[in-house]
Structure 1
Amino acid sequence: MMQVFDIFTSNPVDPGVKKSAGDQLAMMLRDPHLHALFKEKGGVEEISGIIQTAVEEADNKAKFAAHVPACVAMMKYLLHHDYSLRHTLAKDNNLYNTLLRVALLHQEEATVKADISHIMVLLLFDEVAKFDIGAGEADAPGTRFSLPAQVVQRYRLPFKPSVHHSSSPNTLSLPDPEGDVLLTSGPKSMMRVAWNLAWQGGLEQMLDSFRTRLFQE
């Protein structure tokens, strides 16, 4: 992979050769085992720079436009498997603007639009996403990305992620309608406090009663 990466990052290099190297890197990065080496060599900064230059600098649009599809694909694979990188880029407002401009400039290319949509899902739902790590997979480079069931059901997503929280973890179970509510822990404790307040004649009197010999013993 490093030979291809060196060709892709070399300057000057024949545009056709550079484009071919980018396409090959995008194919290679489907394997998450290669992500660490790619990031270690500054690959994330390289592809981010190419994407930004292609959409923000008018003089370089034609020069870098051919490399954008491969760079977007590489970013998709990296973000899908690297939660720390995703957490970092999810806070980059400029990246959202850049990705939207890429989608508009390449709206005739279905693959680019699909990859941009995939990246947007990863970034926008970063706070509610989860990475499942199975037994013995703590060091695996490709943990399983998943979203809450409510998100998957509510939105039309460009890919089908794993699902967690089929029901909200904040849902409270209702008491048995046929049972005595006063026997449950919450209402029972509230009733004890209310009864003692009424018996003692107020909160201060109840607190004073705790200092009597009966409570001290």
Structure 2
Amino acid sequence: MANSSDWIDALEQVDAQEQPRVDDWISALADSGGFVEGLPSAGISSPAPLTTPPPSEGEPQTEDTPDHIAEAFETGKAEGIAEAQSEQTKIESARRELRLTFQAFDGEATDAFAAELAETVMALCEAAIADFRADPESLLARCKIAASRFGAAASDCRLHLNPADLELLGDQALSDWDVIADQSVERSGLRFEAHDGTISDTPTDWRRSIAAALKG
């Protein structure tokens, strides 16, 4: 049976086997990455420095790459504005031509209407003049108005009347003037002649005045 001495010898042998050699411990310390307080230094290395990976070839370079979408938008916008302006110019030109055409139609229609109206008025006036027969009072009043335009020289004027009207008025009513029966004077007309002019008031003069008024 083993005694206590044997047990002590056995423990000493185990401790001797488990204790590392001094030389091995120093070598391990030299091979380590350094001493860390509170931790064994064997097997610990320094952390590697951080590095930024280079950009891959597939990544786009935003500062050098043009924006094709924006360029296409601006190009389309400019083309749209130009096309709209061109269409607006065409519309304005068509409106102007249409306006001028309507103005020409209006002018022609107005001229035609004015001509027809003038012919109608002239025809009505001609019918009224042709059938007009002045009564003695109105014819005598017109003679006096014409004579007044000559003033004091009226007594020296010659009054030309149609023979039928001369008989209608009578010599007594015309005693202030030198009256001449003149077949060339139309019925209901009169003509005063003086050294410095003539005053005519006949249906021919009326027609001429009406025609001038209708022509404007």
- Please indicate, yes or no, whether the TM-score normalized by the shorter chain is above 0.5: no
Larger Rg belongs to: 2
TM-score, scaled relative to structure 1 = 0.19
TM-score, scaled relative to structure 2 = 0.19
Which structure shows the bigger proportion of residues in helix conformation?
1
